[in-house]
Structures are given as C-alpha cells and as structure tokens.
C-alpha cells in the first residue's frame, strides 16, 4: 500500500531512515524552526527547568532558526518592550541569523513572504497556526515551548505519524474568497475535531485552482479542526509563489495513488451557502440566514487566517462608494507589511479609509484582546481565527466568525446580513 503525504514527510525525516506509517512514533529531523515572542522568557524558563540557568547552551543550526516578533510589534506595553529587548540579546548570543524584530506582521505570513519554508520541509513553530505552511506543501506544525527547547538544541523532535483525512473540494473558485466558509462548513458539519491529531490533504478541482491566499486560510484553520498537518499539493501556483522568494531547492511531498486514508470528505463548493460560527466555538456553525438581523458593534478582517490581500481586496471592492454603518467599528489588519504595501499600491487602503474603516498595524493583536476590545453585551463579527469567550476582552461579549465578504456586508448593514442582499455582483 502507498503512502500519504504525512507518511512521506515523516519517512523522509526519520532519523533512523526507516519508512514510517500512521501510528508510528519517530524522532524526526527538523528543517526549520519558527520562534516568536517565546524566544526569551519561555525559552529561558525551559532552560532553567532543564538545569541550564544561563539559558540555552546553543541552537543546533543558527541558519534554520527564524525569530519573528509578531505578537509584540509594535510593543503595546512596557513588559513587551522589555521582553523584546531580552529576545534581541538572546538572538545575538545564540548567533541566530534570521531575525525580524522591527517589523510588524504575523510570523506565519512573513515566513511565506520571505520564502523561509519550502515544499516537503518539516518546519515547526511554537504557535498553533504553524500548520498554515501546508498551503505551500510544507510540513508545518505547531509545537509546545518545551518541544521548541528540545528542537532548538538538537534539530530533532519526536512525533507520532498521523493518520490522514482527504478533504476533496470540488467546484469553481468564485470572484470572492470563500475559504473561510468552507472550513467553517466542515467544522459545523463534521465537528471541530474531525481531523483531530490527523493530517489533512486538501484536494479536488477547487483546491487545485484556488489562490495561495485561500489555501493559507484553509491550512491555518487546520488547527481549528484538530489537524497536525494540513497539506495542499505542490503545483504551478506553489512554484510561482516561491520562485521570487527562495533560491533553495526543494522536494515536494505527494501522496501515492493507493495511500490509505482514515476518512474521505467531499464538498461540492459550488453549492456552499454563506455560513457563520456563532459564539463561542468554531464548530457552532449555521447558515448566515439564521442570524440575519443580529446587530453588531464591531467588524474585523485580519489574522493568519484571513488577513491577506484577497481578504482585504474584497472588502475594499465592496466598500467602494459605501460607508461603514454608523456606530460600527470596522477594523482591518493586513497580515504583514508586504500584504499592507500591496494593498496600498493597489489603492485599497484609500478606499477603506474613505469608507470609514480603521486600518490597524499588521500583527496578531486583532485576533486577541490586544487591539479593539469588546465591552459587555457588544457583538463582533470577524474573519479572525477564534471566537472563544473573552477572546476580545469582555467575557460577556459575543463573537461571530465569518468570511471577509460576510464581515464586510455586516459592517455596511450594521447587522449580520446575506452578502448577496447587501452588495451587487455577488
């Protein structure tokens, strides 16, 4: 029997050299490690716990460790500033070459922007959304702080090879992004852990035609359905994206035709309705029709799931000549400086500002209670990653998750609405 992408990935990275199958436990060689704000205090804490009071004694390969201060840039408190200062010292002491410390943005998007990962690589990150790298056929997976300590020391880490679920997305891409609707639909229909500890392989006619931006949304949200890995195949779009970003060679992973899948799920994307996740769980999903008329106080587009060019472009296209509803705060945060700059160059930011949107510095803050807090009984609709209770401040606020088009429609209408009834040409 053939191998899945995950089995190929881990077989190629197995220290013992043996072929591995779903369920096997192995020690794997790491190709890259993404560290964000955990680089100082948490790593020191791990080092101290392990008996290295002066901090990590080394990193295994200073060329393969990427430190990006996404959660803390620009700093929003004295504590963050002091932590960043510590991280700078650590990076210097350990000789780490790739360090983005004075640039706001989401680490995962910057990893893609700067071509710091390549198809077929095993890249770990101490953030749950590291799984987004699968959009580029990278074996990206989130690990813990203690895992990162181990990985940084040895360039190796233990894994259990995941079983795989094949998600077949058939249909035509539309003239607006629907990746969020797809993943929300899947979580609602099959449960918020349908891919628990498994590897997803996205395939089908939609998956092969859809943009890299949309693939990144679907892969990032792999973690919201429990996945360890969330792959797309490496195709022309992948190679085209990477060509100007990396000159290193790579060996993509492809599944064998007779690979074994624990489960196969097929979705006719053309038939998919607009959906939202109601408070307070990702899998609490319904058709937008069921919550139409729900008044909102805040709307948001951003995050490692939906802060990319196409997410902001659709908002600008829809808001051109329109205004954000009175009393609604509409926050847009590009995922990185590169995304932001492209939006500026294409005139999107001007359109958004004229419509009354608040454009927020790139970064993770929009997805957390760091930028744009909610007060008691306030309601927010957002294209960010999570709607857990308290995620945006008050424990008594309601957060709905939706795609960027549905968010933009709600921002204009002042209430949750079917985008087709708010905008023409949808």
Among the listed ranges 153-161, 203-211, 341-349, 404-412, the one in contact with other proteins (CB under 8 A) is 153-161
Toward other proteins, which CB reaches closer, 316 or 399? 399
Among 51, 53, 327, 425, binds other proteins (CB under 8 A): 51
CA triple 248-254-256, angle to 5 deg: 155
CA 43, CA 48: separation in Å to the nearest integer? 8
Using the rule CB under 8 A, is 8 a contact of other proteins? no
Among 11, 14, 109, 128, binds other proteins (CB under 8 A): 128
Q: Of 397, 393, 399, 369, which is closest to residue 381 (Cα–Cα)?
A: 399
Pairing of β 263-268 and β 164-170: parallel
Among 102, 172, 197, 375, binds other proteins (CB under 8 A): 197
**Count of residues near other proteins by CB under 8 A:** 44
Among 281, 294, 297, 358, binds other proteins (CB under 8 A): 281
Assess contact for 127 and 34: CB atoms under 8 A: yes
Tokens representing 384? 């960010």
Q: Of 368, 356, 359, 355, which is closest to residue 339 (Cα–Cα)?
A: 359
Using the rule CB under 8 A, is 160 a contact of other proteins? yes
Using the rule CB under 8 A, is 221 a contact of other proteins? no
Tokens representing 192? 């918020």
Among the listed ranges 199-207, 213-221, 382-390, 416-424, the one in contact with other proteins (CB under 8 A) is 382-390
Q: Shortest Cβ distance from residue 129 to other proteins (Å)?
A: 9
CA 29, CA 45: separation in Å to the nearest integer? 24
Using the rule CB under 8 A, is 149 a contact of other proteins? yes
CA 411, CA 326: separation in Å to the nearest integer? 9
120 φ, ψ to 5°?
A: 85, -10
Toward other proteins, which CB reaches closer, 112 or 399? 399
Using the rule CB under 8 A, is 127 a contact of other proteins? yes
Among the listed ranges 100-108, 163-171, 221-229, 247-255, the one in contact with other proteins (CB under 8 A) is 221-229
Among 386, 399, 405, 423, binds other proteins (CB under 8 A): 386
Using the rule CB under 8 A, is 192 a contact of other proteins? yes
Pairing of β 285-287 and β 98-100: unpaired
Using the rule CB under 8 A, is 181 a contact of other proteins? no
Among 76, 86, 146, 426, binds other proteins (CB under 8 A): 146
Using the rule CB under 8 A, is 283 a contact of other proteins? yes
Among 21, 29, 145, 342, binds other proteins (CB under 8 A): 145
174 φ, ψ to 5°?
A: -100, -175
Integer angstrom CA distances of residue 343 from 50, 241, 334 = 46, 18, 8
Using the rule CB under 8 A, is 108 a contact of other proteins? no
Using the rule CB under 8 A, is 202 a contact of other proteins? no
Using the rule CB under 8 A, is 294 a contact of other proteins? no
Using the rule CB under 8 A, is 226 a contact of other proteins? yes
Tokens representing 87? 């991280």
306-365 residues near other proteins, rule: CB under 8 A:
none
> CA end-to-end span of the chain, whole Å?
45
Tokens representing 336? 């990185």
Toward other proteins, which CB reaches closer, 147 or 378? 147
Longest dimension (CA), the chain: 63
Quote the crossing angle between the two packed helices 337-345 and 348-355, to the nearest 10°: 80
Using the rule CB under 8 A, is 279 a contact of other proteins? no
Tokens representing 239? 């190679």
Among the listed ranges 90-98, 122-130, 235-243, 248-256, the one in contact with other proteins (CB under 8 A) is 122-130
Do you know the residue count of the chain?
Answer: 426
Tokens representing 102? 């004075």
Toward other proteins, which CB reaches closer, 81 or 388? 388
- Bridge partners for 160 per DSSP: 25
The residues that touch other proteins, with contacts defined as CB under 8 A, are 25, 46-47, 49-52, 57, 79, 126-128, 142-147, 149-150, 153-154, 158, 160, 192-193, 196-197, 223-224, 226, 228, 280-281, 283, 368-370, 386, 388-391, 395
């Amino acid at each position: 029997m053939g191998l899945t992408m995950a089995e190929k990935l881990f077989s190629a990275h197995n220290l013992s050299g043996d072929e591995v199958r779903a369920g096997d436990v192995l020690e794997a060689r790491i190709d890259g490690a993404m560290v964000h704000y955990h680089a100082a205090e948490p790593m020191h804490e791990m080092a101290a716990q392990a008996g290295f009071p002066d901090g990590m004694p080394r990193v295994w390969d200073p060329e393969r460790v990427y430190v990006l201060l996404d959660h803390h840039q620009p700093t929003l408190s004295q504590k963050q500033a002091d932590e960043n200062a510590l991280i700078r010292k650590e990076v210097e002491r350990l000789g780490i070459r790739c360090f983005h410390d004075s640039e706001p943005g989401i680490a995962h998007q910057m990893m893609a922007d700067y071509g710091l990962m390549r198809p077929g690589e095993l890249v770990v990150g101490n953030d749950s959304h590291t799984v987004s790298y699968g959009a580029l056929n990278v074996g990206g997976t989130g690990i813990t702080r203690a895992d990162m300590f181990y990985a940084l020391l040895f360039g190796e880490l233990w894994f259990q090879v995941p079983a795989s679920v094949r998600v077949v997305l058939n249909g035509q891409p539309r003239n607006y992004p629907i990746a969020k609707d797809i993943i929300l639909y899947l979580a609602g229909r099959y449960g918020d852990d349908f891919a628990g500890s498994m590897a997803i392989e996205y395939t089908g006619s939609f998956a092969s035609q859809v943009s890299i931006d949309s693939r990144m949304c679907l892969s990032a949200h792999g973690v919201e359905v429990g996945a360890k890995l969330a792959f797309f195949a490496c195709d022309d779009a992948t190679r085209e994206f990477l060509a100007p970003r990396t000159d290193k060679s790579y060996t993509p992973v492809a599944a064998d035709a007779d690979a074994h899948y624990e489960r196969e799920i097929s979705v006719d994307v053309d038939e998919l309705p607009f959906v939202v996740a109601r408070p307070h769980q990702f899998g609490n999903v319904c058709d937008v029709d069921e919550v139409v008329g729900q008044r909102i106080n805040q709307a948001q587009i951003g995050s490692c799931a939906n802060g990319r060019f196409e997410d902001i472009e659709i908002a600008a296209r829809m808001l051109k000549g329109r205004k954000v509803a009175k009393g609604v705060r509409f926050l847009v945060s590009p995922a990185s400086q590169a995304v932001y700059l492209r939006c500026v160059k294409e005139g999107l930011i001007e359109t958004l500002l004229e419509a009354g949107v608040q454009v927020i510095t790139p970064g993770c803050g929009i997805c957390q209670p760091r930028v744009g807090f909610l007060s008691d009984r306030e309601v927010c609709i957002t294209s960010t990653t999570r709607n857990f209770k308290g995620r945006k401040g008050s424990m008594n606020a309601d957060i709905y998750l939706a795609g960027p088009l549905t968010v933009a429609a709600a921002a204009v209408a002042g209430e949750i609405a079917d985008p087709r009834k708010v905008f023409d040409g949808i």
